Structure 1
Amino acid sequence: MEDSNKKQKKTGRHPKTDPAKIRYSISLNEVEHARFLSLFEQSGMKIKAHFITSCIFENKIKTIKIDKGTIDFYMRLTSFHSQFRAVGVNYNQIVKMLYSTFSEKKAAGLLYKLEKNTLEMVDIFKKVIEITEEFNRNYVKNTD
């Protein structure tokens, strides 16, 4: 009698409020299975059951394609942009130094040379922008 009056300890998982009890089974041939696995991998989901459920109830399925070439291009473009910003900072420092160190006439002559090099750099950056736009048009697919 004493044993039945003692409280039992509850261990383990807490029961779900609405457990999924109903199961369905489907059979796929090799081609269908390969296509299913491909779609599952593209979705980025971790659990196949969640992927199948989202397909059945027509939830929007997110597919992610990772193109290493595109990632590499944008990483290099970002690095190039940071170098461009560093050149801009150095440019400002040089102009200040020219006017504080040299006479007005000498500073103007040196600034003229700097301006020529700056125009060449502007042409290079215009080409970079054109190449980037061409890359986006030809290789990056818009999913909108």
Structure 2
Amino acid sequence: MEEMNKKQIKKAGRKPKIDPAVHRYSFNLNDEDNAKFLALFDQSRMNTKAHFITACIFQKTIKTVKIDMNAVNYHEGLTKFFGQFRGIATNYNQIVRLLNSNFSEKKALAYLYKLEKQTTEMKELLLKVLILTDEFEKKYLNKE
């Protein structure tokens, strides 16, 4: 009786499962079927093959996620571009403020004229980027 109490008091180790999976099955696949199985398993993004197999057998829903790395790379580049564009807008405001406070009106207008030319070029570039983004989304991301 004392031995039984000692086993119950001991709390070290893993807790026993309520319904342990003790029934095991084995099956063999040829090379072609194994390649198909591994491809489906990779698409499912599941962690273990056993969970994937039981989900297939009992017709549970399996989520597959396909990631287009070109779209991800394009999005990252576009995000960086717009980050730089916001930085340029901040610098633009600082430059205009400095021109008005540190230079005579004539010199400030001359520099502002040059800045205005650069701004129109940036606007054209931004419009081209927006057009390319729309084309990319229609062609590769199937957005309409």
- CA-atom RMSD, angstroms? 2.4
Q: 1:121 to 1:76 in 2, by over 3 A?
A: same
TM-score (norm. length: structure 1): 0.78
- Could you tell me which residue of structure 2 aligns to residue 90 of structure 1? 91
Identity %: 52
SS state of the match for residue 46, structure 2? coil
Q: 1:58 to 1:129 in 2, by over 3 A?
A: farther
Matched residues in 2 for 1:122 and 1:57: separation? 57
Q: Which runs of 5+ in 1 are unaligned?
A: none
SS state of the match for residue 64, structure 1? coil
Matched residues in 2 for 1:32 and 1:91: separation? 62
Moved more, 53-62 or 87-96: 53-62
Matched residues in 2 for 1:140 and 1:19: separation? 45
Residue by residue over 1:63-118, the C-alpha shift from the partner in whole angstroms, topping out at 9 and shown as x without a partner, is 23344433332222222222111111110101111111123343233222211210
Task: Tell me the amino acid that sits aligned with residue 121 of structure 2.
Answer: E
Alignment size in residue pairs: 139
Task: Tell me the amino acid that sits aligned with residue 89 of structure 1.
Answer: T
Matched residues in 2 for 1:38 and 1:16: separation? 32
Matched residues in 2 for 1:51 and 1:87: separation? 50
Which of 6, 9, 17 aligns to 1:8? It is 6
Deviation (angstroms), 1:19: 1.9
Deviation (angstroms), 1:141: 5.5
Deviation (angstroms), 1:128: 1.1
Matched residues in 2 for 1:109 and 1:25: separation? 82
Matched residues in 1 for 2:139 and 2:86: separation? 28
Matched residues in 2 for 1:100 and 1:28: separation? 79
Matched residues in 2 for 1:48 and 1:112: separation? 66
Matched residues in 2 for 1:64 and 1:95: separation? 49
Q: Which runs of 5+ in 2 are unaligned?
A: none
TM-score (norm. length: structure 2): 0.78
Deviation (angstroms), 1:26: 4.3
